[in-house]
Amino acid sequence: MKILVCLSNVPDTTSKINFTDGDTKFDTNGVQFVINPNDEFGLTRAMWFKEKQGATVHVATVGEASTEPTIRKALAIGADEAIRVNAFPVDGFFVAEQLAEIVKNGGYDLVIAGRESIDYNGGMVPGILATLLGMNFVNTCISLEIEGNNATATREIDGGKEKLATTLPLVIGGQKGLVAESDLRIPNMRGIMMARQKKLNVVEPTTSKNVTSDVKFEKPAPKGQVTLVDADNIDELINLLHNEAKVI
């Protein structure tokens, strides 16, 4: 089985976010970038298939040279080969188009992507990718088992979970639950040294067309003043909710 894990290069959740040029561009100064957490769950599951079933695992990202430390981490964790599309990922459709070309040329049986990236939370890439490729698709996937050409997946739905049976080739949008958080891997020294010898292919994008663009960013409004009310003073609480907050 040949697996492609799609990676997004995203700001660490502890990063302080700012914008420049009239709030039209994201300010990367001082920001540490990491593998998108939803993608990291998928990468860990792919490594399980490699170790238990002898799968070959490749990783791919759409990004400029600055993303290479992130993809090198995936190689250090155990991926066999990496591919970087040399383009800035402006929108989800553009990213999906580039990844689709990689899948078509690579003959992959299973494509694992995160259900969404934690920076823009678009949630578009896995579904668009599956549509472009004409492959089966399971989103919000929290469990995946493969035996031969058959796959059994569990996904989250409103109010519960749904278990599905499907076949390869398959695209999944993975998330927390695909593996346990305790199973996520930190590269060791041996893995880091081996990653330097592994192939990282840089390819040019198939098109430069983007169907969307960012017009302006806006931070959430700062939290307002908090008024504390004694737990026994119900009359005061009702008065504030009615006359000040005007929610009742």
**DSSP letter (8 states) at residue 87:** S
9-11 and 33-35 beta bridge pairing: antiparallel
Q: Report the 10 Å Cβ neighbour count for 235.
A: 9
The answer on pLDDT for 208 being more than 80 is no
Q: Tell me: the pLDDT tens digits for 71-97?
A: 999 999 999 999 999 999 989 999 999
The per-residue pLDDT for 129 is 97
| CB neighbour list of residue 43: distance below 8 Å, 6 or more residues apart | 5, 7, 35, 57, 59, 74, 77, 79, 112
Sign of CA dihedral 104, 108, 109, 113: negative
Average the pLDDT over each of 33-42, 89-98, 211-220 and give the range with the smallest value. Answer: 211-220
- Give the global pTM: 0.88
Tokens of 68: 């290479």
| CB neighbour list of residue 120: distance below 8 Å, 6 or more residues apart | none
Query: Which string of b and e fits 171-186 if b means at least 16 CB within 10 Å?
Result: bbbbbebbbeeeeebe
Rounded distance between C-alpha atoms, residue 220 and residue 241, angstroms: 23
The per-residue pLDDT for 146 is 97
Tokens of 88: 């800035």
Confidence grade of residue 60 (pLDDT, cut at 50, 70, 90): very high
* Of the candidates 68, 76, 94, the residue with the CA atom closest to the CA atom of residue 7: 68
The per-residue pLDDT for 105 is 95
The per-residue pLDDT for 198 is 94
Which domains, and CATH codes, for the chain?
Answer: 2-213 (3.40.50.620)
The answer on pLDDT for 212 being more than 90 is no
The per-residue pLDDT for 136 is 97
Confidence grade of residue 247 (pLDDT, cut at 50, 70, 90): confident
Rounded distance between C-alpha atoms, residue 154 and residue 161, angstroms: 7
Q: What average pLDDT does the segment 92-115 reach?
A: 96
Rounded distance between C-alpha atoms, residue 83 and residue 148, angstroms: 26
Q: Tell me: the pLDDT tens digits for 172-186?
A: 999 999 999 999 999
